[in-house]
Each structure stands twice: as structure tokens, then as C-alpha cells.
Amino acid sequence: MDEPTFIVTAPAGVEPLLTVELTGLGVAETRPVRGGIRFQGPLELAYRACLWSRTASRVLRVLAEISAADAGELYSGVHDLPWEEHLDPDGTLAVDFGGACAGIDHSHYGAQRVKDAIVDRFRTRCGRRPCVDRLRPDLRIQVQARDGRATISLDLSGDSLHRRGYRIETVAAPLKETLAAALLLKAGWPAIAATDGPLLDPLCGSGTLAIEAAWIAGDRAPGLSRERWGFSGWLGHMPALWNRLLAEARQRREIGLTHIPPILASDHDPKAVRAALLNANRAGVANRIGIERRDLVELEPPDGPPGLLIANPPYGERLGEQDDLAGLYHQIGERLKTRFGGWRAAILTGNPELGKRMGLRAEKTHVFYNGPLECRLLRFRVEPTFFVDRDAADQRARTRILQQAIEHGADGFINRLRKNLRHLGRWAEREGVRCYRLYDADLPEYAVAVDRYEQWLHVQEYAPPSSIDPVQARARLEQVMAVLPALLELPPEQVFLKVRQRQRGASQYQKLAEQGPFHQIREGAARFWVNFTDYLDTGLFLDHRITRQRLGELAAGRRFLNLFGYTGTASVCAALGGAASSTTVDLSATYLDWARRNLELNGLCGPRHALIRADCRQWLDQSRERYDLIFLDPPTFSNSRRLPESFDVQRDHIGLLRQTLRLLAPDGVLIFSTNHRAFRLDRDALADLRIEDWSRRTLPPDFARQPKIHHCWRIARR
């Protein structure tokens, strides 16, 4: 009989560390899979992974891999599994569903179909059925559907394994315990601790890095304090085996407590110090970690051998914060260079440019994800060989690049950029605008659009006409890409380029590259995820900034509908404005998932905010709901293979508006918008409606040079 199969999940970037952990626990052969590591072996190995893995998120026991071409086949495959061997009929269960399956348009419905299949089998076989308990089920089931197949697994971990049980106090943006452990392992802490080298965290927050360091050095199993597991109510659980592993872990903990080297944690914030003290006490290492309030300028190494300084400084998410934080990073670097010679250092940052302010050249760099945010772990050897006068070197390099560009005829472009930076920069600072269009083909020979997204630039080259020498066009584009980071003092890797040309049909939705990182930006009270590499657009239409603001102002207490919802930014603004509910409709599963992430980023979750995957025109014919505020922003043209007929906004807008108005409450408001530059609204066909042209009042100052960038109307019944 084949041994059972297990999947241990982990965040992106952590898989190599997890593989080493599993091998150390006795797993003979591992195989990387999407989101984790797969292996076969006895149940004891899965128990050890639950108890001892410091980097894993969950441990799954694979029950079956079934055909799931559609919702019906998924139901049948799940129904055929012997669930009575795993769960008592009077027990409780919960189902998590992910992936894609024909006939299932959102994860909640997918979980519902799986639950129905399980309980229907229990009714047939046992005459009674388990109940659903989302919080503390006896059995948590995970289903991942992809490419017509579905993997059905039992979640042996229950809660995510990052929940160690010691964090009772927290601070803003804490590190997950699993990520903290991964950083320590990658930074070489186990080897340093084995030689009694100390560890310092001068920006300790709630103490996670220091506590995880103490547990690693003290051979403490990270799962030892957990009272409930996903296998606790599973009929296949082996209590005797589990209790033996617990006894072994307790014995190792008692021995390991005597081997913890000096660990020092400090922070300038008294609240953070208090949180760290409480958490360390709960973790059983309060007497092994020195925790105190201390400013960074007072930081000194303890007596003894060199050790590891590790920290997670703030990254700076808001406009202007980078300048403030540059001083912090510079201070960390100066303290290291003047007081910590011979030490190792590891700094986690979501903004590598800030890391350069330290004046130290990183020996190694590793990519990790703090939630969805891509970060870098910068590893340093504090030795003179790696010291850098970064500010002077950067300034010399920028001056040299600009001088070379001027010598090659780019002085007009540079002067225009400087002028726009002065005028638009002052306006953006005054209005609190963090993302705006900086340049839009102001000079015909430099036919690019430059959009600033906080500390990133998104450059779009308009495809040159055939009359332009392609060699000359390429040379000018190279000048643009050299001048922008030098003039705005940004690292080149934060400037992204796309060639923008007319898109037809489905091509407007096709990916341009493999999945790149998502970046978090702010607009007023809202936060959004943007992507600069994968698609033609970033996920946020900057020319709709005022339109989104108006929707937020109109939304209070209203039922909001967002048609052709794209990444859901309008839904976020309406919800933050106090909408009673929001419904976002789009045919793209990719964009709906993006919209879900945008809503979650702003704390907008639950049934009040519906996401519906459907063709908007077909859905409008079928829906019977009424909405008080509707935002309609259709594509200019579409001939997707998934739709029965093409769509042209100029040709079809009257029919689409009439369809939409059928769902508008009697005193409701419809905001209709289009980016078709030559669009003409057929007012005669809409003479029975009250129409206000909002095109100019929703045109932001940074797009004033291109007034036809969009059209917008407020429409209501007379």
C-alpha cells in the first residue's frame, strides 16, 4: 500500500528553507509544487512538520485527486470519497476552496458545492450529517481546482502555523512568525548561535524576531504551545504517536533553554517594548531576552564575540516618507560601521533604494514576501571592504547621466520634465495626490507617457508612426529611460516601460509578461494594488481619480453597482464612502480576483461586497436587483471569444444604457464614463433622461493637456 501524500505550504521564497527543514525531519524525497512542497511518508512525518517546521504555513494530507471539469463533476468526485472514515457524522467541518472550475464563479460557491457533496453522502450512508463550523471544525477540508482537476486534502494544521500562541500584544505591521523564522535561518542565525554569538534587534516592534531567535537557539518546537490542531477531530488521528512526539519536544526544550546565547531587543517606542515583554513572557523566554527602550543612536554591541544584527525597519508607503526614512537607514548603516565591526547584519526592506542609504554593500540579497509585498533581505558583512559613500556616488552617477543626455540632444526633454516636476509636484503635494501623470508626449519627438506611482514610474511609449526612423526612436527611448531615474533620483529598477499601441479584441486583456510583483499605493483614504509589468494598464486609471472621488461622495447609504468593474477601484471608493453594499461585475477572473484583493486591502470583506464573474450585458438582462448608484465604464471595443457578439461603445451605448437603467432605482444616479476619445453621446435617443456632462469637472489637472482622455456623464430619470 502506498504511503500517504502530504503537501506542506509556504509563502513564495521560503520553499528552499522548507525543503531543508523537511529533510532534517526525516523526509526522504521532496518535490516542489505550486505554493509548497510535496512528499510521501508515514503520518509521523506530517506530525513532525506540524510540530517542528518554523517556516511552513500549513500541512495538508492529500485524500484524492479527482477529475473536476465542471461543478457537477467536482460534486460527484467529492461525494464518492469515503468521508465516514475521516469524520464522525455528528462532527463539524469547514471547507476552503481555491482555484478555478467551470460553473463555479467564486470561492464561496465552490466551498458550498464541496460541502453539499460531503453532507449528502453522510445522509445517504449514516442517516445524519455533520454541521458546518468555520471557526473550530473537527475537520477542515481544502480543495484546489485547476485545469480540470481538483486536489482534495485534509488540513492537519488547523489554524495557520504562524500562529504560535505567544503573540498577545502587537504593533503596526508585525512580521508573521514564520517569516521572522525564515529571515533568521537565511541570515545564518543557527550557526552564529551555536558559537554563542549574540543577536540584536534594534527595531524590535512586538519582539517576533527576538522570540523566534530564542526558540531556534533553544531547540524549542514552534508548535509546542498550540492546544488545538486540524487533526484533533480527525478519525485518522493517532493520539499515542502525537503524545510521544510532544514528550520528546518538551524534553528538547528543557535542554535547549540552557543553550540560548545573549539576545537583545530594543525599540524607541514604549508601546512596542511593552508588547515585546508580554509576548516574550508568553513564549517562555522573557528571562532569556534583554528587552528595553533605547534609541538607535545609543545602540552598542554587547561584550563577547561578534553576532547578528537583524531588523525590519519601516519601508515608507506614503509620498515623501522615503526622504524621512532615508535618515533612519543611514543611521543604521553608520552605527554598524562605527560600532559593529566584524558583525553580520540582515535588514528586511520593501524599498531596496532605502537600503542603499546605509552605505554598506550587501553581500547577498534574497527575495521574500511580507504578505503580498515583495521585500528584500539584505545581508551584510560589517567590514571596511563593503563600506560605500553611497550618497556621493549616486549623485556623481546622476550628474554624469544627465550631462551625457544633454550632449546627445535631450536637453529639451530634461527641461520639460523639470518644469512639470515643479508645477505638478507642488499641486500633488498640496492636494495629497500620490499618483499622477507627469508627462504625456509634451514634446512630439519624445512620444511617451510617464505616470508617477509614489516611488515608481510607469512609462508607456506610444508606437511611433512609420515615418519615424526606428533607430532614432529607439535612441530617444533609451534617453528617456536613462534621464528619468537620474532626474527623479530613483533606482532604474523602479522605472517600468511598456509600448502602448492600439489593442483590439481579446488582445487588450492578454498578459505582456510573466506575473510580476504587485505594489501597494494610496489614493486618498483608499489603498490599491498596482502591477507595472503584466498588463497594458497598471490596475488603476489615473484619469478616473476625480470620478472615483465623486462616487465616494455619492455612495453614502446607497446600493452601488460597478459594471465592467476591472480591478474594483471604484467599488473600494464607494464602499469607503459609506455605500450600503457594492456589487462588482466583470468577465475576467483575473480582474475579479484583483478587485477582491483591493477590497480586502481596505478592510472591505463579507457578503456586503459581491464579486460576480459574468458578461455585463447578459447579466443585466438576467438581474432583478435595484441599485441607487451605478458606475458604467465599458470598454471602447471588445470581440472576446467568450462573448456571442462584438461590442462597440459608440454603436451600442444606447442599448447598454437602457439595459443598465432598468436596474436603477427611481431616484438613483448612473455615472457613465468612456475613454473613447471620439465618442459622441446620442442625447436625442436619451431625451427622456436628465443628463449632466461631467467630463470637464472630472478631468484631473495632470490630464488637462489631453481633455479628450475621457468623457463622463451623470444620468438620472426626469
**What's 426-450 look like in SS3?**
HHHHHHCCCEEEEEECCCCCCCEEE
Residue 14 has pLDDT above 70, yes or no: yes
User: Given a cut of 60, is residue 1 above it in pLDDT?
Assistant: no
How far apart CA 62 and CA 604 sit, in angstroms, is: 33
Angle at alpha carbon of residue 305, lines to 304 and 307, rounded to 5°: 115
- What is the secondary structure of 197-263 as a DSSP string? --EEETT-TTSHHHHHHHHHHTT--TTTT----TTTT-TT--HHHHHHHHHHHHHHHHHHGGG---E
Across the range 505-530, mean pLDDT stands at: 70
Beta strands in 574-710 (DSSP E): 581-586, 609-613, 627-632, 637-638, 647-648, 664-674, 689-693
Q: CA 624, CA 635: separation in Å to the nearest integer?
A: 24
CB of 58 closer than 8 Å to CB of 223? no
Q: Write the pLDDT tens digit of every residue in 448-482.
A: 999 999 989 999 998 776 677 788 888 889 999 99
Helix 270-282 vs helix 208-217: angle between axes, to the nearest 10 degrees?
30
Whole-angstrom distance, CA of residue 375 vs CA of residue 466? 42
Residue recorded with cell 504562524: 162
- How far apart CA 30 and CA 40 sit, in angstroms, is 8
Q: What is the mean pLDDT of residues 211-238?
A: 96
Residue 705's pLDDT band (cuts 50, 70, 90)? confident
Q: What is the arithmetic mean of pLDDT over 663-680?
A: 95
Q: What is the DSSP letter of 70?
A: B
Question: Can you list the domains of the chain with their CATH numbers?
Answer: 5-155 (3.30.2130.30), 177-221+260-391 (3.40.50.150), 408-501 (3.30.750.80), 527-717 (3.40.50.150)
Looking at this protein, which amino acid is placed at residue 166?
Y
Question: pLDDT band at 511, cuts 50/70/90?
Answer: very low
Residue pair 182/52 in contact (Cβ under 8 Å)? The answer is no
Read off the pLDDT of each residue in 230-240 and give the average, rounded to a whole number: 96
| pLDDT above 60 for 353 | yes
More confident residue, 465 or 73: 73
**Could you tell me the strand order of the sheet in which 664-674 lies?**
609-613, 581-586, 559-563, 627-632, 664-674, 711-717, 689-693
Closest CA to 220 of 262, 169, 260, 271: 260
Q: Which amino acid is at 170?
A: T
**What does the buried/exposed string (b/e) look like for 490-521 if buried means 16 or more CB atoms within 10 Å of the residue's CB?**
beeebbbbbeeeeeeeeebbeeeeeeebbbbb
The most distant pair of C-alpha atoms in the chain lies apart, rounded to whole Å, by: 86
CA distance linking residue 484 with residue 488, whole number of Å:
6
Measured in degrees and rounded to the nearest 5, phi and psi for residue 531 equal -135, 125
Q: Which residue has the cell 481538483?
A: 150
Task: Answer whether 142's CB lies under 8 Å from 60's CB.
Answer: yes
Average pLDDT of the chain?
91
Which amino acid makes up residue 356?
K
The cell numbers describing 637, all together, are: 471595443
242 contact partners, CB below 8 Å, separation of at least 6: 47, 231
Question: Is pLDDT of 657 > 80?
Answer: yes
**pLDDT of res. 509:** 40
3-class SS of residue 630: strand
Whether the per-residue pLDDT at 391 is higher than 80: the answer is: no
CA distance 531 to 520: 9
Question: In 3D, which of 248, 200, 258, 190 has the Cα closest to residue 224?
Answer: 248
Find, among 654, 467, 647, 662, the residue nearest to 561 by Cα.
662
Q: How many CB atoms lie within 10 A of CB 204?
A: 29
The share of the chain scoring above pLDDT 70, in percent, equals 94
Quote the CA–CA distance of 377 and 16 in Å, as a whole number: 15
Kind and range of the H or E run holding 649: helix 649-661
Is 16 within 8 Å of 30 (Cβ atoms)? no
The model's pTM: 0.60
State the pLDDT at residue 138.
Answer: 95
CA angle 20, 371, 36 (to 5 degrees): 35
C-alpha cell at 388: 560605500
To 10 degrees, what angle do helices 15-24 and 43-52 make?
120
For residues 340-361, average pLDDT = 91
Output the pLDDT for position 512: 43
Buried b (16+ CB within 10 A) or exposed e, 233-271: bbeebeeeebeebeeebeebbeebbeebbbbbbbbeeee
Helix (H) or strand (E) holding 530: strand 526-530
Using the predicted structure, report yes or no on whether residue 505 has a pLDDT greater than 80.
no
Among residues 464, 461, 488, 493, the alpha carbon closest in space to that of 477 is found at: 461
For the segment 236-241, the average pLDDT, to the nearest whole number, is: 97
pLDDT at 563: 97
**Sheet containing 92-99: order of strands:** 30-33, 36-40, 5-9, 58-67, 149-155, 139-146, 92-99, 131-132
What are 547-563's pLDDT values in tens digits? Answer: 999 999 999 999 999 99
pLDDT at 515 over 60: no
Number of H helices, E strands in the chain: 19, 30
With H, G, I as helix, E, B as strand and everything else as coil, classify residue 130.
coil
Rounded average pLDDT over 256-269: 95
Over residues 430-451, the mean pLDDT reads 93
Residue 330 in this model has a pLDDT that exceeds 90: no
**Residue in 432, 463, 434, 438 with CA at minimum distance from that of residue 451:** 438
Query: What's the CA gap between 424 and 436, in Å, rounded?
Result: 8
Split at pLDDT 50, 70, 90, the class of 327 is: confident
Which pLDDT value is given to residue 318? 40
Q: Looking at the predicted structure, is the pLDDT value of residue 66 above 70? A: yes
Region 32-43: mean pLDDT is 94
Tell me the three cell numbers of residue 599. 477590497
What's the rounded Cα separation, in Å, for the pair 431 and 26? 59
